[in-house]
Amino acid sequence: MLVSIFIGVIIFGYAAYILWKSFQKSKQGKCAGCAIKNTCQGSICVQEEKDNEVKN
């Protein structure tokens, strides 16, 4: 019984951590939360947005 509770707490704790982490990343904005932000020149994200607006 105690092991089941411990495993449940670990699972729900990990899920809460991942949700919190994703909310924090979304608050940073598009380019700040990007995985390639260290090598990105910034114009790539802007260009993709303009391409999507033209297509719509």
In angstroms, rounded to a whole number, what is the distance separating the alpha carbons of residues 41 and 51?
A: 17
Q: CA 27, 40, 17: angle at the middle one, nearest 5?
A: 35
pLDDT tens-digit profile of 35-45? 666 666 666 56
In the chain, what are the domain boundaries?
2-55
> What's the rounded mean pLDDT across residues 11-38?
82
Q: Residue 30: pLDDT above 90?
A: no
pLDDT category at 2 given cuts 50, 70, 90 is: very high
Contact 31, 45 (CB under 8 A): yes
pLDDT at position 3? 95
